[in-house]
Every structure is written in structure tokens, then in C-alpha cells.
Amino acid sequence: MSGSARRTANPAGHLRASARSDVPAFIVMDVMEAAARLEARGQRVIHMEVGQPAAAAPAPAIVAAQAALVSGRIGYTVALGNVSLRRRIARHYAERYGTDIDPARIVVTTGSSAGFMLAFLTLFEPGDRIAIASPGYPPYRNILTALGCEAAPVEVTASTRFAMTPEAVLAAHRERPLRGVLAASPANPTGTMMTAEALAALARTAEDLGIAFISDEIYHGLDYTFPAETALNLSADAIVINSFSKYFCMTGWRIGWMVVPEALVRPIERLQQNFAISVPTLSQVAAEAAFDGRDEMEAVKRGYEVNRRILTEGLPGAGFGRFLPADGAFYLYVDVSRFCDDSIDFARRMLEEAGVAATPGVDFDPVHGRHYIRFCYAGAEAEVREAVERVTAWLK
């Protein structure tokens, strides 16, 4: 496009982005970009920054998607998602958690990311306050901000296994009334999990306060010390958000689901009809078949367990004294305060000097995150071993 054409499109240069679009960047993406620049110069980088599995989607998912492509037409589906996929997800709840879920309460979404938008829009008005754990997954607060809501960060510490407690939520509610609580177990970035009792107590607190309880269960299936319980077994009002991205290694397929109380189904359906029409059909077909690839995914999970052991046994030798109990997901949140006061600088130097990319904690916790970095161990075992060796040599 020529310069004059550009000027014509915006003659007075008066277009401004809205204030609500002014949300912070995802720092992990900046680390990825810095890593890509080094790689372009020929340096090899071990990627432990992005939270995504190195493994491919389960073979049955790929075969089903190929067959659907060959069959020709990929049209819209109904807004709530293919009935057969919603039934298959309901069966998953029966098999995995022993719970009976009406498929009519299941909504297929474009990754769990779209599930958050739909849930927040359906549950909250602008100005509403929602409690989230800090450290926590940054898009929770950034999506809430963009929708005109307020994220109320609840600081979590080792004394509660880095999970929100009823007391902390009640204290936040006393400061200014909350309209919702969002919990994740296993959590990102900490990898820590809540026991079923702790999750139940939080859900009960939300019920008592008459506010929404949202449970992000995206890392279910990736639990190493005790099985994760679904909030659906703990509260009839819980809103559960899940995804095929992590356990099923389908990040790029952009497919997830929600389980919501019956009263919310129609409002969510109307939003989805207008926002997206429907979720990508090819991904829905693949997701349904993904459930037949569980054996394959269990093997991938065993690989994460090996990687987890390599890190938890190897990092102390590098001088990292403290990290959070890695109960689940594929993250280790490591205290680097012994080495520096600025995790962005630490991550930058570790990338440039040791060739290992990790995410600075400030992405997840603007206050204490400068003392932490997050390693993702969803990659190949050999690379995780090499990363420990490189970081150990670098810190010597």
C-alpha cells in the first residue's frame, strides 16, 4: 500500500485504541521473540518458556480430522457444539470422575480462552470484582479488565499450597464485595494443586456469599501426586472450564469446553451465536476422537513425570534452593531471589548466556514475581536434561 493510500484510510490520524484494550502484553511472548532472534543468529535455544506440549495431538484425532477434510465440506455446527462431541465429553465425566452430566449443560468453546470470555460476560457486569490467585494465569485479569470488570488478586503463599482459602476470599469480600471467585487446580504458573477438600471449601464459600465459582480445570489429567477433583462434584452451581490444549496436546486446534448450570446455557448460546457462530468444525471432529487416544496421552504424561523428576532433582545442584511443590500441570515455579531481584533480567541473561528460555514471574505476579521464573517441562527429556546442565554450568 502506498503512503498516500494509508493517509486516505485514516486522514486525520485520529484512530485511537480504546482504553479497555490497553491490557498488558503477555511477557512470555516477548521471551519467545528474543529466543527467535537468537535462533535466527544460529544459537540453539532450549524452550521452556511456553506452556505447550511438544507432543502431537493423539493419532485418532489426526486421523478423524484427515477423514473429515477428505470428505469435503466443513460447514458451521450449531453454536453450542456438535451434539456427538458434547455427549462424548459427558461420557468423559462419567468415566473419569464418576459424575453424571447432562450433555445439554456442555458448551464447546474455541479453547478455554473463549470459555473465560463467555463465562465472564454471562456472569458479570462492568465494575464487578472477581477474586483470582496471585500468582496466576495473566489472561484471567487481562480479560476481566478488557470487559470492564475488576480482578481482585488474592496473594497465595506456601502456607496454603499457593491456593486461595475461604478466609482470604472472605477478607477480599469484606474489602469490597466480590461477584465471583476463579480457581485453578493444577495451577499455572505454580503447578500446585488443591485437595478436593480445599476446593470444596472454596466452592462452599462462594455459595454462601451468593457469588459465582469458576473452576479452570485445563490441567486436569496432568496430576502426579493425587487425582484432581472436578468442581462439578463439589457444587451444583460451579462453572467449569476445560480444554483439549494441555492433556490432549491440542493447543493449536483451539478447542475447549465449559460445563455450566442449566440457566446459563441459553445466554451463553446467544453470545456464542453472535461472537463466533460456531467453534471450528474440524477441531470439534478431532476433539471427539481425541478421547480414543488416552493411552497415547498417558505415555506423554509419563514423559512429563520423568522431566519433572529431572528438574526437581537437578535444579538444587544448580543452586536453586526453593521451588513450589510440582503436583501437576507441567511447570516449576522457581525462586531466583538468591541470584537477583529482577526475574526479567535473570530470564534474559539465562537465555542469552545459557541458551535456556524460561518465563519471568512478573508475568504471573506483578508484586513478588520479580523473584521467580517459570520453567515449562512439557518438552523432550533430553532437552530438559541439557537445560539443567546448561543452567548449572552458567550459575557456577
Ligand X SMILES: Cc1ncc(COP(=O)(O)O)c(C=O)c1O
Identify any residues that bridge with 258 across adjacent strands, giving them in sequence order.
107, 241
- What is the spatial distance between Cα 53 and Cα 304, in angstroms, rounded to a whole number? 9
Candidate list 82, 243, 284, 307; residue touching ligand X; CB under 6 A: 243
Give the dihedral sign, CA 303/308/313/319: positive
Residue 135 or 303: the one with the smaller Cβ distance to ligand X is 135
- What is the spatial distance between Cα 354 and Cα 382, in angstroms, rounded to a whole number? 16
256 binds ligand X (CB under 6 A): yes
What are the helix (H) ranges across 124-223? Answer: 138-146, 166-175, 196-209
218 binds ligand X (CB under 6 A): yes
> Minimum CB separation from ligand X for residue 341, in Å?
26
Region of 5-13, 65-73, 111-119, 311-319 interacting with ligand X (CB under 6 A): 111-119
Cis amide linkage into residue 153, ω under 30° from 0:
no
113 binds ligand X (CB under 6 A): yes
Residue 110 or 318: the one with the smaller Cβ distance to ligand X is 110
Region of 32-40, 108-116, 285-293, 373-381 interacting with ligand X (CB under 6 A): 108-116
- What is the spatial distance between Cα 55 and Cα 76, in angstroms, rounded to a whole number? 29
Residue 216 or 223: the one with the smaller Cβ distance to ligand X is 216
Region of 22-30, 105-113, 302-310, 373-381 interacting with ligand X (CB under 6 A): 105-113
Q: Which amino acid is at 295?
A: D
Q: Which residue has the cell 496466576?
A: 136
Candidate list 137, 291, 320, 333; residue touching ligand X; CB under 6 A: 137
CB-based closest residue to ligand X:
111
| Cell output for 360 | 519471568
- What is the spatial distance between Cα 307 and Cα 178, in angstroms, rounded to a whole number? 39
- What is the spatial distance between Cα 300 and Cα 308, in angstroms, rounded to a whole number? 13
Candidate list 77, 165, 230, 245; residue touching ligand X; CB under 6 A: 245
355 binds ligand X (CB under 6 A): no
216 binds ligand X (CB under 6 A): yes
CB 161 within 8 A of CB 194: yes
> Minimum CB separation from ligand X for residue 9, in Å?
32
DSSP collapsed to 3 states, 321-339: CCECCCCECCEEEEECCCC
112 binds ligand X (CB under 6 A): yes
Residue 107 or 318: the one with the smaller Cβ distance to ligand X is 107
278 binds ligand X (CB under 6 A): no
- What is the size of the binding site for ligand X (CB under 6 A)? 13
> Minimum CB separation from ligand X for residue 51, in Å?
4
DSSP conformation class of 73: -
Burial (CB < 10 A; 0-12, 13-18, 19+), residue 15, is: exposed
Candidate list 28, 31, 47, 51; residue touching ligand X; CB under 6 A: 51
Q: How far is CA 351 from CA 30, 117, 282, 339, 354, in A?
A: 12, 33, 37, 15, 6
Region of 18-26, 106-114, 164-172, 285-293 interacting with ligand X (CB under 6 A): 106-114
Binding stretches for ligand X (CB under 6 A): 51, 111-113, 137, 184, 188, 216, 218, 243, 245, 251, 256
